[in-house]
């Protein structure tokens, strides 16, 4: 079996199959749920708007596929109380994972203490075994030093994962931002080997080649055995079809991303 097929099989189990389209309907969520279990294995999770969490939980019961949702999305606002309430509602509806958009504009403006406090408040609303992913919006932060600092703030405030992007801005996941974030995770691991922090690139990852490049980067920085569904996810809508096409030897399908 070729390395490309092996890598596609590896990536398939790391996908957060996503529909965060503004016009998403309950029917779209049902179609999303139907795609989660394939002949080649299951995706890790679906990621949906908060209003669809309860439906997704019901439709995925028994599959082992997690339900993730987004809060403070996509703007990364500063109304912490509203974000906490949104998070509590999502957890009550059955969400396994919360993808929280860091208040990245406040961070760039120098309000690092505020940003940290907001993440801490959201973290307090996400009880174990639910997990918290913090979206940095690296394409808007831009500066690698600031991306590194944002990674450290999110990790220090209790994030289980750090995630590149919402998929709603001009520049989303890049390998350059991923390298900075994975390096921050490695540094945190050196400081505390028992702390497990994951990584999620999201937005614009559409092909098997894209997935392979991100996994190769993670392997180089954190070791070949590091990336698993508990430490690494791809946030994507079109990637699953491309991975299946690679595994089955058909023409790769290019998805629309999100």
pLDDT in tens, 55-90: 999 999 999 999 999 999 999 999 999 999 999 999
Please give the positions annotated as active site. Answer: 99, 163, 200
- In this prediction, residue 134 carries a pLDDT of 99
**Structural domains in the chain (count):** 1
Query: Where do we find the tokens 């999502």?
Result: 90
pLDDT at position 251 is: 60
Give the contacts of 194 (CB within 8 A, at least 6 positions apart).
none
Mean per-residue pLDDT of the chain: 96
Domain containing residue 13: 3-248
Q: What is the pLDDT of residue 55?
A: 98
Give the 3-state secondary structure of residue 70: strand
User: What pTM was computed for the model?
Assistant: 0.95
b/e per residue 211-221 (b: at least 16 CB within 10 A): bbbbbebbeeb
**pLDDT tens digit string along 136-154?**
999 999 999 999 999 999 9
Whether 56 contacts 48, CB under 8 Å = yes
Q: What is the pLDDT of residue 1?
A: 63
255 assigned to some structural domain:
no
The CATH number of whichever domain residue 20 belongs to comes to 3.20.20.70
pLDDT tops 50 at residue 49? yes
Tell whether the model's pLDDT for residue 258 goes beyond 80.
no
Sign of the Cα pseudo-torsion (108, 111, 114, 117, in order): positive
Percent of the chain with pLDDT over 90: 95
State how far the Cα of 137 lies from the Cα of 158, in Å rounded to an integer: 18
Whether 187 is covered by a domain: the verdict is yes
What pLDDT score does 2 carry? Answer: 84
The mean per-residue pLDDT over the stretch 183-188 comes to 98
> Does residue 253 form part of some domain?
no
CA nearest 229: which of 35, 34, 50, 66? 66
Q: What is the pLDDT of residue 9?
A: 97
Cβ burial of 62 (10 Å; 0-12, 13-18, 19+) is exposed
pLDDT tops 50 at residue 256: no
Q: Does 256 reside within a domain? A: no
Q: Would you say 174 and 138 are in contact if contact means Cβ atoms under 8 Å apart?
A: yes
CA distance 245 to 242: 5
Instruction: Tell me the C-alpha distance between 115 and 103, whole Å.
Output: 6
Q: What is the mean pLDDT of residues 44-52?
A: 98
What is residue 252's predicted lDDT score, i.e. its pLDDT? 45
């Amino acid at each position: 079996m070729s390395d490309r097929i092996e890598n596609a099989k590896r990536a398939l189990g790391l996908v957060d199959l996503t529909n965060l389209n503004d016009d998403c309907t309950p029917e779209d969520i049902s179609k999303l749920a139907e795609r989660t279990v394939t002949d080649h294995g299951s995706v890790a999770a679906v990621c949906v708007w908060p209003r669809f969490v309860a439906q997704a939980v019901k439709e995925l019961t028994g599959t082992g596929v997690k339900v993730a949702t987004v809060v403070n999305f996509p703007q990364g606002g500063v109304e912490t109380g509203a974000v906490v309430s949104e998070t509590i509602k999502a957890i009550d509806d059955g969400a396994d994972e919360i993808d929280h958009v860091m208040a990245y504009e406040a961070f760039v403006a120098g309000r690092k203490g505020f940003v940290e406090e907001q993440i801490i408040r959201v973290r307090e609303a996400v009880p174990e075994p639910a997990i918290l992913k913090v979206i940095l919006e690296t394409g808007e932060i831009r500066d690698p030093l600031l991306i590194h600092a944002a990674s450290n703030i999110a990790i220090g405030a209790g994030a289980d994962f750090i995630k590149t992007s919402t998929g709603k801005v001009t520049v989303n996941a890049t390998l350059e931002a991923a390298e900075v974030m994975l390096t921050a995770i490695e540094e945190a691991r050196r400081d505390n080997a028992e702390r497990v922090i994951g990584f999620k690139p999201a937005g614009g990852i559409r092909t098997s080649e894209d997935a392979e490049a991100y996994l190769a980067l993670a392997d180089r920085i954190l070791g070949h055995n590091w990336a698993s569904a508990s430490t690494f996810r791809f946030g994507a809508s079109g990637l699953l079809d491309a991975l299946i096409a690679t595994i089955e030897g058909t023409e790769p399908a290019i998805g629309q991303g999100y």
